[in-house]
Structure 1
Amino acid sequence: MIRQLSGLQASAWDALTDGADPFLRHAFLAGLEDHGCLVGHGWDPVHLLAYEHDVLVGALPLYRRDNSYGEFVFDWNWAEAYTRAGGRYYPKLVTAVPFTPVTGPRLLVQAEHPAAASISAALVAGALALAQRTGASSWHCLFPADVQLPAFEHPDLLLREGCQYHWYNQNYADFTEFLAGLTAKRRKEIRRERRDVAELGLQIELLEGRAITPAHWAVFHRFYCDTFERKFGEPRLTLSFMQYLSAQTPPSTPVLLLARAGEDYVAGALALRGTHTLYGRHWGCSGYFRNLHFEMCYYRFIEYSITHGLQHFDAGAQGEHKVARGFVPVKTWSVHWLREPSFRQAVAEFLRRETLAIDHYVDTVAEHTAYRADIDG
């Protein structure tokens, strides 16, 4: 177990991943720790490491938590029920990327390692053992990749479904070709929304990586803090962390959009670029500008994905309104271990009913996307 990733060689950690997911890179996770994003927010690192002859062969990002903020798999009702029954839900253990509802590998093991399955099993067993030993009420693994789900097949582990909305690139030549695949109604609506923004007379700048200066980050961080304070409370990501992102090398490239009215910046949207996917993360605005959110958080990033040949755009959690704008429903997953058998049984029954509802919802929405009937979005 390691309490601070900066004490581990970055190349050793990064060798456990394929590098496609920027959030799992040592630089990103260690940056959250080193730049004050976790302090005071209940994310206490207790990462598990697996060694073979002094060589790191496996890792599990793991945090001891005293709340459920910043997880995006909501278990507040579980915590309340557990407390009413006389138990202490916190502390709990959570495997996740803090503040980041993005699907990706959670059991970090080189895929080509001959003992990959055994190492994965050892990491799961290690998390359960640590939860038992430290008196944690539970262990939760959030947003694991589909391909890793077999590693969580254990009689005491519960699988939970969720739903997000993602955009997929069908080898579009440009945004116009993307629009051509939508129904006439949706094409018209998107064109109207983009026209509304064009009529505002704003200038929207696109900046990437090291081209994002400390001054740009300071502007965006103000927007980010304003949005966070109005909706969620205290902002999590520090200005120094954002500035640190610009120093990272691909595939962890920040992509920043800033909208300007004359000399004044009025809005910003941030995404992080991976090898195959663009991840929309945060947005903020100084006032109301009709449809600017859709333009900056969706349409400009879709254009960016097309231009750069990215296969996939994950615009973040929630947001059923994305469906009308070319996004499609996708299932997400989480895995849960609960110490108390009777509580585990009650949650299992809840999840059984929840899964039926989510399956029905995803199937229904998938039949009513923005795409023409002869087009697979």
Structure 2
Amino acid sequence: MTLQVRELDALASIDATQWDALHDGRNPFVAYAFLEGLERHGCLRRDWGWTPRHLTLWDGGELVAAAPGYLKTNSHGEFVFDHAWAHAYARHGMDYFPKWLFAVPYSPVTGPRLLARDDAWRRELLAAMAGHSAAAGLPSAHVNFHTDGEDALFGDDWLPRSDVQYHWHNRGWTGFDAFLADMDHRHRKNIRQERVKVARAGVEFRRLHGDEASSVELDAIHHFYRQTFAEYGNAPALTRDFIGHLARSMSRNLLIILAYLGGSPIAGALCLRGTDTLYGRYWGSDAVLPGLHFETCYYQGIEYCLEQGLARFEPGAQGEHKIARGFLPAFVRSRHWIADPAFRGALREWCAEEAEATRRYAASLARHSPFREAAGPAP
């Protein structure tokens, strides 16, 4: 075996079949079509802090392991917040950037990050991350939203962090009414009232996969996506070309939910579907109607999961209001390699304190479950 480590500045430099042979295809965010599409269709910009730098391992001419990676000059679009770390470096006259991030851009979604056929190659990949970061003089490397199975592969030199999201888990309900029947009276009544308000307003919904959506409908979902970013004063990263690319190349993974009033679209949610999970990513609206957000982003997605037999619905990061709608707290994880020994020691203590606070927070959230039979936070 002659193992070679190569850093790639574009996924287009390798073949899609080589990349996709390294994962099981269950998570759409690590698919070649998704990641390479972000690069090809103008979603990653250096002036926004994103420079592709993928790490790959080769055994002769065979790609045996890979990790989607990016050199970052800020923490934009990561969802694992390390601004306090950057400020601490600055106070000590040190550079925190550039850092090497191994993650999926703009996607706080748990999934495989160490793509390989077995754990031996994954460990080699982790060693290469740290070794090449040190050789390049980078202050840190980060692996965000990795899977639980991958977590055991990290050594003590990778500091652990955790956070809480809110996920819906299918308990085998036969439909939305059965889902509501497992809730206590107050939460069940509240959801029914929210849905009735939207229906009485005359709003109708369509759920379309990529191959079922016309260019007009793709235009509409991209408009709603841009609308939300404009309202918050942020720049939308996903281009209309990229949405069209998903509709063509990942047609059954792309799901758009459109709300119509008087025959015209007034709101929409953009989702991706994996083998057993629906991932809610973006939403936007031109109208302000009671319950419209909850119906578009949550209840339509739950109905889709029940119809399709999906096990889980992850509607996006943050939002304690999701608990009342059946989304319970779940832990998400990241790992961090810090080059400077002094900072590594200080941040190890910081991470331990954060982890304990996160565990207490998740336990307190779980006590507010809307279900009659309460469940603790997902591991």
**TM-score, structure 1 as length reference:** 0.95
1:16-95 equivalences in 2 (<5 Å) = 16-39=22-45, 40-95=47-102
SS at match of 1:305: helix
Give, in whole Å, the separation in 2 of the partners of 1:375 and 1:122. 38
Match of 1:181 in 2: 182
Instruction: Tell me if 1:166 matches 2:173.
Output: no
What amino acid maps onto 2:197 in structure 1? D
3-state SS, counterpart of residue 208 of structure 2: strand
Structure 1 residue 232, shift from structure 2 partner = 5.3
SS in 2 for 1:151: coil
> Where does residue 9 of structure 1 map in the other structure?
15
| Alpha-carbon separation, structure 2, partners of 1:280 and 1:194 | 19
Give the alignment's Cα RMSD to 1 decimal. Answer: 1.5
What secondary structure is seen at the aligned counterpart in 2 of 1:275? coil
- Alpha carbons 2:369, 2:375 under 8 Å: kept: no
Q: 2: CA distance between counterparts of 1:264 and 1:170?
A: 35
Give the CA deviation at 1:166.
Answer: 0.1
Question: 2:142 & 2:163 partners in 1: Cα distance?
Answer: 14
1: distance between equivalents of 2:35 and 2:189? 42
1:249: how far off? 4.1
| Structure 1 residue 231, shift from structure 2 partner | 2.1
Structure 2 residue matching 1:162: 3-state secondary structure: strand
Name 2:4's counterpart in structure 1. none
Which has the larger displacement, 29-38 or 210-219?
Answer: 210-219
Q: Relative to 1, partners in 2 of residues 1:374 and 1:155: Cα closer, same or farther, differing over 3 Å?
A: closer
1:264 Cα deviation after fit:
2.6
How far residue 106 of structure 1 moved from its aligned partner, in angstroms, is 0.6
Contact kept, 8 Å, 1:107 with 1:120, in 2: the verdict is yes
Gaps of 5+ in 2: 1-6
Query: Distance between the aligned counterparts of 1:349 and 1:83, measured in 2?
Result: 19
* SS of corresponding position for 2:248: coil
Structure 2 counterparts to residues 132-281 of structure 1, below 5 A: 132-152=134-154, 154-231=155-232, 233-249=234-250, 253-281=253-281
Q: Distance in 2 between matches of 1:161 and 1:18?
A: 25
Partner of 1:124 in structure 2? 126
Look up the match of 1:113: none
Q: Deviations over 1:312-341 (max 9, x none)?
A: 101010011111111111101000011211
**Is the partner of 1:191 in helix, strand or coil?**
helix
Residue identity in the other structure for 2:147: A
Is residue 315 from structure 1 mapped to residue 315 from structure 2 by the alignment? yes
CA distance in 2, matches of 1:77, 1:232: 23
- 1:370 CA drift (Å): 0.8
Specify the alignment match of 1:334 in structure 2: 334
Distance 1:117 1:203 in 2: 48
Decide which moves more: 258-267 or 173-182: 258-267
CA offsets 1:117-173 (integer angstroms, 9 cap, x no match): 221111111111221122221111000000111111x23210001110000111111
Alpha carbons 2:184, 2:372 under 8 Å: kept: yes
* TM-superposed deviation, 1:361: 1.2
Asked if the contact 2:218/2:243 (under 8 Å) is kept, the reply is: yes
Q: How many residues align?
A: 370
- Specify the SS of the correspondent of 1:288: coil
What SS does structure 2 have at the residue aligned with 1:247?
helix
- Residue 182 of structure 1 and its aligned partner are, at CA, apart by 0.7
